[in-house]
Amino acid sequence: MQINLSNKTALITGSSKGIGLSIASKMLAANAGVILNSRNDDELSKTANTLRENFPEGTVNTAPFDLSETKDIPNWFAQVSNNYGPIQILVNNAGITHRELAKDITQEDFNRVMRVNLNAVLVICQEFFLQLQNRPGKIINISSLISNLVRETNIAYAASKGALNQLTRSLAIEWATNGINVNAIAPGFIHTDLTESLVNDEKFNHWVKTRVPMSRWGKPNDISSTAVFLASSEADYITGQIIYVDGGTIATI
């Protein structure tokens, strides 16, 4: 199945590297234009230049912004859509974590994770909805296996991703008649730059391979392929779903 997203523009948050970059690459390969986002302007520019070299016929734009500044998201989003035109696909990939035991975590650290992983997503989705003006669109939220299965010291991240799943479902049922599909992808253990140290940790790597039925780490491409499918007309009757791309981890005890 060859997916074609011609005449579509995708805004992908947190897309300077890792899963977000893989999604941007896969969207470009499917002929969509992409708008990259990161809070690091220099890193974002380097990523954009690399993608332009790899996809010389594609359209790659950048929209640097720190999503923790939630009150400024409406102005930022308006500027992005004014500069680059209507956005038909929104991928909420940006996220942060904070590792600490539940008994020790402060409200400040907990709220910081929730602000980026949940509150910012809601505000961006609201702006996306308003911008569409009753035109169809696709929202893809990047959740996590940790939304359903948890490990210690992940209380803030787990809470934010669990809430993100319910936000996804809530938006899906409210906006279904507006032609907006809202789904989430929940990655399992994915080998990226951010997880390289864990892959190289012999004990943790062994634990992952024995815990995951497919006995391997996932690849960013496993996530981006799913994202492109959900962004396409092939997924027009799919909404309100949390799709676990985790090598079978969620299905086993």
All structural domains of the chain with their residue ranges? 9-245
End-to-end CA, the chain = 34
**What number is the average pLDDT over the span 115-130?**
98
Distance CA 167, CA 240 (A): 9
Per-residue pLDDT band for 180 (boundaries 50, 70, 90) equals very high
Residue 194's pLDDT band, with cuts at 50, 70 and 90, is confident
Q: What is the pTM of this model?
A: 0.97
Confidence of residue 209 (pLDDT cuts 50, 70, 90): very high
**CA 173, CA 195: separation in Å to the nearest integer?**
34
Cβ neighbours of 205 (radius 10 Å): 15
The single residue of 84, 157, 237, 244 carrying the catalytic annotation is 157
Predicted pLDDT of residue 98 = 95
* pLDDT tens-digit map of 68-78: 999 999 999 99
What is the per-residue pLDDT for 253? 80
Largest CA distance in the chain: 52
Domain 9-245: assigned CATH number: 3.40.50.720
3-state secondary structure of 197: helix
Residue 124 in this model has a pLDDT that exceeds 90: yes
Radius of gyration over every alpha carbon of the chain, rounded to an integer in angstroms = 18
- pLDDT one-digit tens code per residue, 97-111: 999 999 999 999 999
Residues 48 and 28: beta-carbon distance below 8 Å: no
Active-site annotation holds for 157: yes
